[in-house]
């Protein structure tokens, strides 16, 4: 095995990555003429997986799928230690060509470079099933199954197709898989000595700071909650202002307070009200009640957890001050995922060696790596996306940045593998 940093032909890698992405943006790989739309067990998703199968088999990789359809390819026999790379190739229902797919394409390019340069790195590429949740409304589904973060009841009953309402279990069996063996999916992680996922940033921090590579230090956790403010429905014209029990001002005050709390907390804490439901939702009626959502995230649980507690207290007090009541109900809480310091350091060193601008940064979005990191030392690399646009057919990223990411990942793995005892 080579012990020197690998110098790659970035133009060649850029050309190959662009070819892969443009091919997978074609009509055989999406059910929509206006966007990229592919999800678990659809024919176009099958076509996408088969594209990677062909490319990896051409490199001599042993290619298989786990019991529900996550793609696994490796250049070493089972039982030998390997380094994991990959992402997901499903899409949002109104998605673009780059989210997820560029990460798998970049992992494929790392495999190509490893063979061409004779580096002899032991690699395992994984493309996780159903990261976006477009088929069954469940994000990170393939990696959650692999990490044993689901139950059999979830797969048999609770997780259902957004198209026809049938269960995940039924769809998996119909597609030729064996969901009854879902617990065996965990063994895909058995031989991994590390894991790196590349992804587009899905924000505009890198673009606005002029960086081409982001080395991710942690993935944010979050609190999702619903707030309902109960007022009194009255006529919008006939009810004087001093006689109203209007939940609207409580909503407005709460949005402003959430912004203040998140800014004050610092540490990359963010807070968002993304859903608002007004009942009865009429222009000439004072609402009887308003429900709104809370999405509060950060990489420091004590900070974003404090924001969640403080906004809940604020909402109840604001409603009470106006003669109303408010309920706050938590939907889900997910802890942040710190990434492995050793792999992060290797990526930082490899990024610095390229001579290109890079930054250390957290991820505010969820990724499959969150599930892998419970069991395997893990890290991530980001590349910019134009104007931060993602989950949209207008999403754009530069294949040249992905080629640079492939170089960084390749050299980080080279350093990590050769330094293992």
286 to 130, 236, 252, 357, 376: CA distances (angstroms)? 42, 5, 15, 53, 54
Q: Report which of 71, 84, 9, 61 is spatially closest to residue 409, judged by C-alpha positions.
A: 84
What is the tally of structural domains in the chain? Answer: 2
Residue 342 CA to residue 121 CA, distance in Å, equals 18
Contacts of 311 (CB under 8 A, 6+ apart): 254, 257, 258, 261, 271, 294, 296
Same domain, yes or no: 213 and 253: no
Same domain, yes or no: 83 and 178: yes
Compute and round to an integer the Cα radius of gyration of the chain. 24
Q: Which residue range forms the structural domain that includes residue 88?
A: 10-219+337-418
CATH of the domain at 198: 3.40.630.10
What would the 3-class secondary structure string for 239-288 be? CCHHHCCCCHHHHHHHHHHHHHHHHHHCCCCEEECCCEEEECCCCCEECC
Residue 127 CA to residue 175 CA, distance in Å, equals 17
Asked which of 334, 355, 390 is the last residue of a domain, the reply is 334
Same domain, yes or no: 229 and 127: no
Query: Is residue 2 assigned to a domain?
Result: no
Same domain, yes or no: 66 and 205: yes
What would the 3-class secondary structure string for 11-59 be? HHHHHHHHHHHHHHCCHHHCCCCCCECCCCCCHHHHHHHHHHHHHHHHC
pLDDT, residue 3, reads: 52
Query: Is residue 1 assigned to a domain?
Result: no
Query: Is residue 310 assigned to a domain?
Result: yes
Same domain, yes or no: 245 and 170: no
Residue 275 CA to residue 290 CA, distance in Å, equals 10
Asked which of 287, 312, 334 is the last residue of a domain, the reply is 334
Same domain, yes or no: 274 and 390: no
Same domain, yes or no: 346 and 392: yes
User: In 3-state terms, what secondary structure has residue 119?
Assistant: coil
Query: Is residue 4 assigned to a domain?
Result: no
Neighbours of 385 (CB within 10 A): 26
Same domain, yes or no: 73 and 177: yes
Same domain, yes or no: 26 and 128: yes
Same domain, yes or no: 34 and 140: yes
Same domain, yes or no: 169 and 297: no
| C-beta of residue 394 within 8 angstroms of C-beta of residue 96 | yes
Same domain, yes or no: 55 and 91: yes
User: In 3-state terms, what secondary structure has residue 374?
Assistant: coil
pLDDT, residue 368, reads: 97
Distance, C-alpha 220 to centroid of its chain = 11
Residue 145 CA to residue 407 CA, distance in Å, equals 31
Asked which of 286, 319, 334 is the last residue of a domain, the reply is 334
Q: Which residues in the chain show pLDDT less than 50?
A: 1-2
Task: Report the predicted TM-score, pTM, of the whole model to 2 decimal places.
Answer: 0.91
Residue 48 CA to residue 87 CA, distance in Å, equals 13
What is the DSSP-derived secondary structure letter of residue 413? H
In the numeric block, which tokens belong to residue 390?
């993602």
Query: Is residue 406 assigned to a domain?
Result: yes
CATH of the domain at 310: 3.30.70.360
Neighbours of 320 (CB within 10 A): 12
């Amino acid at each position: 095995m080579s012990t020197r940093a690998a110098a790659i032909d970035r133009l060649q890698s850029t050309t190959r990555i662009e070819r892969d992405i443009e091919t997978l943006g074609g009509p055989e790989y999406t059910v929509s003429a206006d966007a990229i739309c592919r999800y678990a067990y659809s024919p176009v998703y099958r076509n996408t997986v088969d594209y990677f199968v062909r490319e990896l088999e051409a490199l001599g990789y042993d290619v298989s799928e786990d019991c529900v359809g996550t793609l696994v390819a490796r250049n070493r026999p089972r039982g030998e230690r390997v380094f994991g790379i990959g992402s997901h190739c499903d899409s949002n229902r109104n998605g673009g060509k780059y989210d997820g797919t560029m990460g798998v394409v970049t992992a494929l390019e790392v495999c190509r470079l490893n063979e061409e340069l004779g580096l002899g790195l032991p690699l395992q590429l994984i493309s996780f099933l159903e990261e976006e949740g477009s088929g069954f409304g469940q994000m990170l589904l393939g990696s959650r199954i692999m990490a044993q973060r689901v139950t059999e009841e979830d797969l048999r009953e609770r997780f259902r197709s957004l198209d026809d309402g049938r269960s995940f279990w039924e769809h998996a069996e119909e597609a030729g898989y064996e969901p009854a063996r879902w617990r065996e999916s965990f063994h895909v992680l058995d031989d991994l000595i590390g894991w790196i996922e590349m992804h587009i940033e899905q924000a505009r921090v890198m673009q606005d700071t002029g960086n081409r590579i982001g080395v991710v230090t942690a993935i944010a956790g979050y609190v999702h909650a619903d707030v309902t403010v109960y007022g009194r429905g009255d006529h919008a014209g006939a009810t004087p202002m001093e006689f109203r029990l209007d939940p609207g001002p409580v909503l407005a005050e709460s949005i402003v307070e959430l912004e203040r709390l998140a800014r004050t907390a610092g540490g990359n804490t963010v807070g968002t009200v993304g859903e608002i439901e007004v009942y009865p939702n009429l222009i000439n009626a004072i609402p009887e009640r308003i429900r709104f959502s809370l999405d509060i995230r950060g990489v420091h649980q004590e900070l974003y957890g404090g924001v969640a507690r403080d906004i809940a207290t604020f909402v109840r007090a604001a409603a009470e001050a106006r003669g109303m009541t408010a309920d706050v109900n938590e939907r889900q809480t997910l802890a942040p995922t710190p990434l492995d310091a050793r792999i992060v350091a290797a990526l930082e060193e490899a990024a610095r060696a390229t001579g290109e601008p890079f930054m250390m940064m957290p991820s505010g979005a969820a990724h499959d790596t969150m599930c892998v990191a419970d069991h395997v030392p893990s890290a991530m690399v980001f590349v910019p996306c134009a104007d931060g646009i993602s989950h949209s057919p207008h999403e754009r990223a530069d294949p040249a940045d992905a080629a640079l990411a492939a170089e960084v990942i390749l050299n980080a793995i080279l350093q990590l593998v050769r330094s293992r005892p």
